[in-house]
Chain A
Amino acid sequence: MKDVAFVFVAPLRNRVVITAANPIAETQGIYSGMAAADAKAITTHLQVLDHIEGKEAKLLQQLGLWCIRYSPIVTVNLPNSLILDISGCTHLWGGERAYLKEIVNKLRTSGYNARAAIADTIGTAWAVAHYGKVTPIVENGMQAQALLNLPAKALRLEVPVLNKLQKLGFTTVKSFIQIPRSVLRRRFGEGLLLRLAQALGIEDEPITPLVLPVPYTERLPCLEPVRTDKAIEIAIQKLLESICTRLQSEGKGIRKATLKCYRIDGRIVQASISTNKGSHSVSHLFKLFGLQISKIEPALGIELFLLEAPKVEDIDPVQEKLWVGKPGLHDTVLAELLDKLAGKIGANAIHRYLPAEHYWPERSVKQAASLTEIPATKWRVGRPRPLRLLHRPEPVEVMALLPDYPPKVFTYKGKRHIIEKADGPERIEREWWLDKGMHRDYYMVEDSDGQRYWLFRSGHYDKSPEWYLHGFFA
Chain B
Amino acid sequence: MANAKRELINRLQKDILQWEGYRPPTAAKKEMFGLGAIEAAFPNNIFPTGTVHELVCDNTEQATASTGFVSGLLAVLMQNGGACLWISLSGNVFPIALKAFGIEPDRMIFVHLRKDKDVLWVMEEALKCAGLSAVICELSEVDFKQSRRLQLAVEQSRVTGFILRNRSKKMSSTACAARWQIKSLPSEPIDGLPGVGFPRWNVELLRVRNGQPGNWTVEWCGGNFRLVERQVLAQELQNVG
B19-47 vs A, Cβ < 8 Å mask (1 yes, 0 no): 00000000000000000000000000000
B195 touches A353 (CB 8 A): no
Q: Which of A328, A337, A380, A446 is B96 in contact with, Cβ under 8 Å?
A: A380
Which one of A326, A381, A386, A473 has the highest number of Cβ atoms from chain B below 10 Å of its Cβ? A473
Query: CA separation between A386 and B68, bound complex, in Å?
Result: 10
B184 touches A452 (CB 8 A): yes
Query: CA separation between A231 and B129, bound complex, in Å?
Result: 29
Residue of B nearest to A421 (CB): B196
Query: CA separation between A36 and B89, bound complex, in Å?
Result: 86
A386 touches B97 (CB 8 A): yes
B144 interface residue (CB < 8 Å to A): no
Q: Which of B83, B97, B100, B113 is A331 in contact with, Cβ under 8 Å?
A: B83
B185 interface residue (CB < 8 Å to A): yes
A385 touches B187 (CB 8 A): no
A391 interface residue (CB < 8 Å to B): yes
A380: B residues at CB distance < 8 A:
96, 99
Query: CA separation between A390 and B90, bound complex, in Å?
Result: 9
Q: Which chain B residues numbered 87 to 106 have a C-beta less than 8 Å away from chain A?
A: 90-100, 104-106
Query: CA separation between A448 and B240, bound complex, in Å?
Result: 13
B83 touches A351 (CB 8 A): no
B97 touches A387 (CB 8 A): yes
Query: CA separation between A344 and B122, bound complex, in Å?
Result: 9
B196 touches A345 (CB 8 A): no
B126 touches A337 (CB 8 A): yes
Residue of B nearest to A472 (CB): B64
B9 interface residue (CB < 8 Å to A): no
Shortest Cβ distance from A181 into chain B, in angstroms?
56
Q: Which of B113, B125, B194 is A349 in contact with, Cβ under 8 Å?
A: B113
A375 interface residue (CB < 8 Å to B): yes
A89: B residues at CB distance < 8 A:
none
Given A333-B129, A334-B132, A387-B64, the answer on whether A421 and B95 have CB atoms closer than 8 Å is no
Q: Which chain A residues numbered 312 to 344 have a C-beta less than 8 Å away from chain B?
A: 326-329, 331-334, 336-338, 340-341, 344
A365 interface residue (CB < 8 Å to B): yes
B199 interface residue (CB < 8 Å to A): yes
A67 interface residue (CB < 8 Å to B): no
B118 interface residue (CB < 8 Å to A): yes
B105: A residues at CB distance < 8 A:
353, 355, 365, 379
B97 touches A350 (CB 8 A): no
A387: B residues at CB distance < 8 A:
64, 67-68, 71, 93-94, 97-98
A64: B residues at CB distance < 8 A:
none
Chain A-chain B contacts (Cβ-Cβ < 8 Å), number: 164
Q: Which chain B residues numbered 120 to 147 have a C-beta less than 8 Å away from chain A?
A: 121-122, 125-126, 129-133
B96 touches A421 (CB 8 A): no
A400: B residues at CB distance < 8 A:
none
B225 interface residue (CB < 8 Å to A): no
B177: A residues at CB distance < 8 A:
none
B170-198 vs A, Cβ < 8 Å mask (1 yes, 0 no): 00000000000001111101000011110
Name B's interface SS.
mixed
Q: Which chain A residues numbered 121 to 138 have a C-beta less than 8 Å away from chain B?
A: none
B111 touches A474 (CB 8 A): no
Query: CA separation between A379 and B96, bound complex, in Å?
Result: 7
Given A327-B132, A340-B125, A374-B106, the answer on whether A388 and B96 have CB atoms closer than 8 Å is no
Given A380-B96, A450-B186, the answer on whether A388 and B81 have CB atoms closer than 8 Å is no
B83: A residues at CB distance < 8 A:
327-329, 331, 334
A474 touches B92 (CB 8 A): no
B216 interface residue (CB < 8 Å to A): no
B106: A residues at CB distance < 8 A:
352-355, 368, 374-375, 379
B90: A residues at CB distance < 8 A:
388
Shortest Cβ distance from A447 into chain B, in angstroms?
9
Residue of B nearest to A324 (CB): B131
B16 interface residue (CB < 8 Å to A): no
Q: Which chain A residues numbered 374 to 406 have a C-beta less than 8 Å away from chain B?
A: 374-375, 379-381, 384-391
A451 interface residue (CB < 8 Å to B): yes
A386 touches B94 (CB 8 A): yes
A350: B residues at CB distance < 8 A:
109-111
A421 touches B94 (CB 8 A): no
A365 touches B96 (CB 8 A): yes
A338: B residues at CB distance < 8 A:
109
Q: Which chain A residues numbered 76 to 104 have a C-beta less than 8 Å away from chain B?
A: none
A446 touches B196 (CB 8 A): yes
Residue of B nearest to A390 (CB): B92
Query: CA separation between A347 and B110, bound complex, in Å?
Result: 11
Q: Which of A349, A444, A473 is B112 in contact with, Cβ under 8 Å?
A: A349
Shortest Cβ distance from A422 into chain B, in angstroms?
7
A452 touches B199 (CB 8 A): yes
Residue of B nearest to A378 (CB): B99
Residue of A nearest to B96 (CB): A385
A423 interface residue (CB < 8 Å to B): yes
B80 interface residue (CB < 8 Å to A): yes
B107: A residues at CB distance < 8 A:
328-329
B165 interface residue (CB < 8 Å to A): no
Query: CA separation between A445 and B197, bound complex, in Å?
Result: 10
B195: A residues at CB distance < 8 A:
421-423
A35-59 vs B, Cβ < 8 Å mask (1 yes, 0 no): 0000000000000000000000000
A473 touches B64 (CB 8 A): yes
B196 touches A451 (CB 8 A): no
A462 interface residue (CB < 8 Å to B): no
Shortest Cβ distance from B162 into chain A, in angstroms?
14
Q: Which of A329, A388, A445 is B64 in contact with, Cβ under 8 Å?
A: A388
A-B contact pairs, 10 of them (CB 8 A): A328-B82, A328-B83, A334-B132, A337-B125, A341-B122, A368-B106, A387-B71, A421-B196, A473-B64, A474-B65
10 A-B pairs with the lowest CB-CB distances in the bound complex, closest first: A474-B68, A327-B82, A333-B131, A331-B131, A389-B94, A450-B184, A450-B186, A334-B131, A472-B64, A451-B61
Q: A379-B96, A381-B100 are in contact. List 19 more A-B contacts (CB 8 A).
A: A327-B83, A327-B133, A328-B81, A328-B83, A331-B131, A333-B131, A337-B125, A345-B122, A349-B113, A365-B96, A379-B99, A379-B105, A381-B99, A387-B97, A388-B93, A422-B195, A450-B186, A471-B94, A474-B199
Interface residues, chain B, with chain A CB atoms under 8 Å away? 60-61, 63-65, 67-69, 71, 80-83, 90-100, 104-113, 118, 121-122, 125-126, 129-133, 183-187, 189, 194-197, 199-201, 220
